[in-house]
Amino acid sequence: MGIGEEVKGKVKQAVGDLKDDDALKTEGEAQADKGAEERKSTEAQAEAQAHEKKADLHEQKQEAAENL
């Protein structure tokens, strides 16, 4: 999520440059920035989930060792 918004925003920026349309460039910048933040959020969530899974594995290992 977010990559599509980034791409659409960059396309709008380019079209705004070609047409000398400041409003379209500004809209494109905002859309690209929004997409970048959404992408960063998605990446952070995926990283957090990976850490949670790793912590769960360590917990299972700890519990197995306690039951020896």
According to the model, what pLDDT value does residue 8 have? 96
- Whether residue 1 is predicted with pLDDT greater than 80 in this model: the reply is no
Domain ranges of the chain: 3-66
Hey, what are 37's tokens?
């933040």
Rounded CA separation 50/44 (Å): 10
pLDDT digits (tens, 9 = 90+) for 22-62: 999 999 999 999 999 999 999 999 999 999 999 999 999 99
Could you write out the DSSP letters of every residue in 21-64?
-HHHHHHHHHHHHHHHHHHHHHHHHHHHHHHHHHHHHHHHHHHH
pTM: 0.75
| Residue 17 φ/ψ, nearest 5 degrees | -65, -45
